[in-house]
Amino acid sequence: MESEEMLAGGLTEPRPATPEIQEIANKVKPQLEEKTKKTYEKFEAIIYRSQVVAGTNYYIKVSVQHLFGSKRFWISLDVMFSVIPT
């Protein structure tokens, strides 16, 4: 990830997702599928923001597709993960 000057605890500006960010999103996909009781055929990271505090928090906007259509939502990895619909 490219370094960016920012205030401690502040969020970066939204940036296009990289292969590294897609890899992070893929790690939480099974947990999300378990939590939502859905299987996502498409699970594509689109943009992300990061925040450096006691570690790095990632906020990743993901485009998904399952049996009932397509959706986009943010995956917040600041705890374990949380899903924030957009």
| Structure-model confidence comparison of residues 7 and 36, the more confident one | 36
Could you read off the pLDDT of 56-78 as tens digits, one per residue? 888 888 888 765 555 666 666 65
CA distance 62 to 29: 10
* pTM of the entire predicted model: 0.70
| Structure-model confidence comparison of residues 8 and 53, the more confident one | 53
DSSP of the chain, one letter per residue? -------TTPBPPPEE--HHHHHHHHHHHHHHHHHHT---SEEEEEEEEEEEESEEEEEEEEEEEETTEEEEEEEE-SSS-EEEE-
Q: Exposed (0-12), middle (13-18) or buried (19+): which is 20, by Cβ within 10 Å?
A: exposed
